[in-house]
Chains A and B, each alone.
Chain A
Amino acid sequence: MFEILRKIWRTGTVTRRQPLPPAAAKYRGKIVIDPERCNGCLECIGICPSGALRTNCIQGKEQLVISHEKCIFCGSCADNCAEQAIKLTNQCYLATRNKQEAQER
């Protein structure tokens, strides 16, 4: 009994309160597209294994958009983008109350 109490005292609280610290720097999280850099070669759409990338007409302009619901965070698109228009970030808190937000970038 004494041993257990001593242990509890020594270990302290293991669970952590939100907001939690950001994920590790290498973490493959949310994909961000820079529409300024994208040259529209659309190679990434062919590479994406889960079909998360597509083009959409935004304000009269064809733009690359990503569905965060479909994305599997493999980072193939970012690896293969010649213009470095697609970047992986370490954002891991992607839960949303609105499905539409997850659909488009």
Chain B
Amino acid sequence: MNQLSKKQLVARLLQSFGKKMLSSRPVQEHETELVIDKADLPEVCRTLVQEKKGRLFTMVGNDERELSGHFALYYVFAFDQLQHLITVKTLLEEADPVFPSISAQIPAANWYEREVKDLLGLRALGHPDRRPLILHGDWPEDQYPLRKDFSAALPVSRQPDRGTSMQYSGRDVTEIPVGPIHAGIIEPGHFRFGAVGDTVLHLDAKLFYTHRGLEKSAEGLPLTKALFTAERICGVCALSHAVAFAQAVEAAAQLTPPPRALYLRSLFLELERLYNHIGDLGNLCAGFGFAVGVSHGSRLREQLQQLNEELAGHRYLRGVIQLGGLRLDVTPAELSRLLTVLEQVEADFDELMDIILSHDIALDRMATTGVLSLQQANDLEVVGVAARASGRAVDIRRSHPYAAYGQLDVPLVQYTQGDVLARFKVRAEEVKTSLQIIRQIVCQIPAGAIWAPVPEIQPYTRAMGWAESPRGEVCHWLMVGPEQTVFRYRIRSAAYSNWPAVPLTVPGNIVPDFPLINKSFELCYSCCDR
């Protein structure tokens, strides 16, 4: 598609809004911003999603009172066919910080709208669920942490819990509360099952126990230091988040890192996917008590993490990324060592898949368990492995290529059943495609510099960066402040998009299947909670 026809297509996309558009401007090469009145928000968003087939990529609330005297909302829609993003911006008066809700028509907006209420005090009128999301019931209702006049240093006095969990009633419904502290090494989340006998009728998940206020603490940090915050959003997707943040900064500075740096980023991203996917496939076996699979998976994962340590100096690939490129290079000897290790891992991995997928009990437990329908996946804008297992073709490496993915052949792995087995198989095949991609990278990697200096960024420039983490796409929205600091940083991780889908897949299954379903999504809590 050449540039001209893309421009025309984008223009055609927007022409139906006519008078509703107060202004429009191209922000980056891949993004158009239009400003509308808040009253037109539901109609414009509905047209973009339902008629123009865009998907809600992220939504950001921003306190811009010191810039323009308003709060601002940015709804970002991704158009995968066009490789384009459309941002719908609307301004809210400080005296009247309300806006019409779009959640009833676009269910994916549910969490975003509740989040801007909790953190910025911007209220979505007509939202079907008015419970707090992030700050739980013991946080005072008039304290909004992401407003610029809220100081993170001051203690906030808590109030008695308002009780925000679902209450089940009825004679035959048993309420089973689980968590937030769990047995085993998993993060905190409170799950409340309404069960009839052994069968789950409804599941209510309460998350955000690990909300650390990273977005607030990043504000005012120099960009170079905020990179370390980005690396610590998630334990196991550290690299994806670092890459997404670095790309956001580079987009703001209109800088393209040298080609070798882009290839190396892709290489490390695939290594991250490999160790995660193989570890997750092994861990999934714990859902049906198959210890051989768990041990075999962790052994392979350990081998890959030691490889990470050899190549990058860190088992979880932290400290690899630098704004403008990479911090370390890889020698040809290391690349050939990489190929040798991957060959061993692949042989062992094939054997592990053979063991699990020829195990009758494993298949019996995984097939038809925890089905996520395509309709549900589309409505909630599910991403990553879970989306591709339900027949939703979303892979941001293909639709909006970043790093070196534009030059690489990235096959799409897709299943349609949407059950645990489909998610298992998507992961297993993605391990194979990751290995393919790594081999392509090793063949094609150009020589040259691995870093370019980042030019000065104009204050209040905003930009986005994204990456396909092992759990799905992550999107970092960044507005740069004066003197190369962070003004507003919004992290939308894959877990944030996928968590609302998990409770939908559980009803109808038996209670002991929940750990298995949960493991098949393998979502992170801390990068959802931030």
Contact = CB atoms under 8 A, between A and B. Distances in A.
Interface in A25-59: 26-28, 49-50
Given A73-B319, A74-B319, A75-B319, A26 B225 contact: no
Interface residues of B, number: 15
A14 interface: yes
B313 A26 contact: yes
A23 interface: yes
A26 B313 CA distance: 5
B313 A24 contact: yes
A26 B318 CA distance: 13
The residue among B225, B312, B313, B328 with the most chain A CB atoms within 10 A of its own CB is B313
A32 to B, nearest CB: 16
Contacts of A23: 309
The residue among A24, A28, A73, A75 with the most chain B CB atoms within 10 A of its own CB is A24
B43 interface: no
Interface size class of A (residues with CB under 8 A): 10 to 19
B314 A28 contact: yes
Contacts of B318: 74
A73 to B, nearest CB: 7
A20 to B, nearest CB: 11
Given A14-B299, A75-B319, A28 B228 contact: no
Contacts of A14: 299
A26 B309 contact: yes
Nearest to A74: B319
Contact of A49 (B225, B306, B328): B225
B319 A26 contact: no
A28 B308 CA distance: 12
A27 B309 contact: yes
A73 B488 CA distance: 27
B327 to A, nearest CB: 8
Interface string B300-336: 0000001001111110001100000001100000000
B292 to A, nearest CB: 8
A102 interface: no
Contacts of B306: 24
Contacts of A81: none
A3 to B, nearest CB: 10
A24 B321 CA distance: 19
Interface of B: 225, 228, 232, 299, 306, 309-314, 318-319, 327-328
19 contacts: A23-B309, A24-B310, A26-B310, A26-B312, A26-B313, A27-B309, A27-B313, A27-B314, A28-B319, A49-B228, A50-B228, A72-B228, A72-B232, A73-B314, A74-B228, A74-B318, A74-B319, A75-B319, A75-B327
